């Protein structure tokens, strides 16, 4: 019952007065209290007071939970529009199942906790323990990943400011890609490769294991504000590429949306602000 009530979220507030519009779980609670009033000396009015008290005790934490809960961002393009570089089936599974599982588990892990910004959650994720670390990281990383891609025809180019920063740190776009690809290929097992801005304000490349990211205090790799991340978990490429991770990495550049990455750089990372992805 508790979990069902929790699932009602903020809707419970508007549903309280007209009980027929209340979530089923709340109606069941109201019905059970009202029925018990017929079997004992408690008046109907007293039963209503008890019902209100019960609801009130659940509504307070639920409201903050609803504020702190996250949702699944819609894919900003069609599942098949990254073909032939990333196949439709992989995109469906990756977005609707894997991404959604991180979201669901993050929301569960946040139940009863005060609302917090997703980027703040990243910072403290390792200290917070595996549920927040794995699912909070998984949610952030995938939100960034799906937004930074798009159809190859619209891939475009980095903005002048981003191109200048790439040239300053790596010498050229090709050199940056070379270093990035090596980091992605070398990541043992599951993880991510990242392009981001270091605390010194320079672009650099790093890689993290599992669903960690470089916003997390204490993570492996270089601390930075990521502007571009590549998922090298097998679920991101295995259906099409099987064991050919380097081919997936090379092809993935064709579907990078440079307008989105430039936006991440100019509006956030270049100013020292972690990229807001939801």
If the CB atoms of residues 170 and 233 are measured against Fe ion, the closer one turns out to be 233
CB of 99 to Fe ion, least distance (A): 7
How far apart CA 218 and CA 138 sit, in angstroms, is 17
Question: In the complex, what is the shortest distance from the CB of residue 237 to Fe ion, in angstroms, rounded to a whole number?
Answer: 9
Strand partners, 193: 207, 230
Using CA atoms, how far apart are residues 68 and 266, in angstroms rounded to an integer? 27
The least distance separating Fe ion from the CB of residue 217, rounded to whole angstroms, comes to 23
Quick note: the x/- pattern for Fe ion over 229-268, rule CB under 5 A, is: --x-x--x--------------------------------
CB 184 within 8 A of CB 193: yes
Tally of CB atoms within 10 A around 44: 10
Interatomic CA distance for residues 170 and 264, integer angstroms: 19
**Cβ 126 to Fe ion shortest distance, Å:** 19
> What values do phi and psi take at 216, rounded to 5?
-80, 125
Of residues 72 and 173, the one with the C-beta less far from Fe ion: 72
Number of residues that bind Fe ion (CB under 5 A): 3
Residue with smallest beta-carbon separation from Fe ion: 231
Site string for Fe ion, 172-211 (x = CB under 5 A): ----------------------------------------
148 binds Fe ion (CB under 5 A): no
For residue 244 the two structure tokens come to: 């050919």
Q: What is the DSSP letter of 85?
A: T
Answer whether 77's CB lies under 8 Å from 151's CB.
yes
Single out the residue of 97, 196, 67 nearest to residue 144, CA to CA: 196
Instruction: Decide whether 232 or 270 has the Cβ nearer to Fe ion.
Output: 232
Contacts of 273 (CB under 8 A, 6+ apart): 225, 267
Rule CB under 5 A: which of 216-235 touch Fe ion? 231, 233
The residue (of 12 and 236) whose beta carbon lies closer to Fe ion is 236
> With respect to Fe ion, which residue has the nearer C-beta, 212 or 231?
231
CB of 205 to Fe ion, least distance (A): 19
User: What is the contact surface with Fe ion in residues (CB under 5 A)?
Assistant: 231, 233, 236
């Amino acid at each position: 019952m508790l979990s069902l009530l929790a699932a009602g979220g903020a809707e419970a507030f508007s549903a309280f007065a007209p009980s027929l519009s209340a979530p089923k779980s709340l109606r069941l609670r109201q019905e059970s209290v009202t029925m018990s009033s017929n079997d004992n000396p408690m008046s109907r009015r007293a039963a209503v007071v008890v019902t209100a008290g019960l609801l009130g005790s659940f509504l307070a934490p639920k409201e903050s939970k609803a504020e702190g809960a996250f949702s699944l961002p819609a894919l900003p393009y069609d599942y098949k529009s990254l073909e032939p570089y990333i196949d439709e089936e992989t995109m469906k599974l990756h977005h609707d199942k894997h991404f959604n599982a991180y979201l669901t588990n993050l929301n569960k892990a946040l139940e009863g906790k005060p609302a917090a910004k997703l980027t703040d959650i990243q910072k403290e994720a390792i200290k917070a323990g595996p549920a927040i670390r794995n699912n909070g990281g998984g949610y952030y990383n995938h939100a960034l990943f799906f937004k930074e891609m798009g159809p190859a025809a619209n891939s475009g180019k980095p903005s002048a400011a981003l191109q200048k920063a790439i040239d300053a740190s790596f010498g050229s776009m090709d050199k940056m890609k070379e270093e990035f690809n090596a980091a992605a290929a070398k990541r043992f097992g599951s993880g991510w490769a990242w392009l981001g801005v270091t605390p010194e304000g320079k672009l650099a490349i790093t890689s993290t294991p599992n669903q960690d990211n470089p916003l997390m205090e204490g993570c492996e790799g270089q601390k930075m504000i990521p502007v571009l991340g590549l998922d090298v978990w097998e679920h991101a490429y295995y259906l099409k590429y099987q064991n050919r991770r380097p081919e997936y990495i090379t092809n993935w550049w064709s579907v990078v949306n440079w307008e989105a990455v430039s936006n991440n750089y100019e509006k956030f990372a270049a100013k020292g602000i972690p990229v807001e992805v939801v």
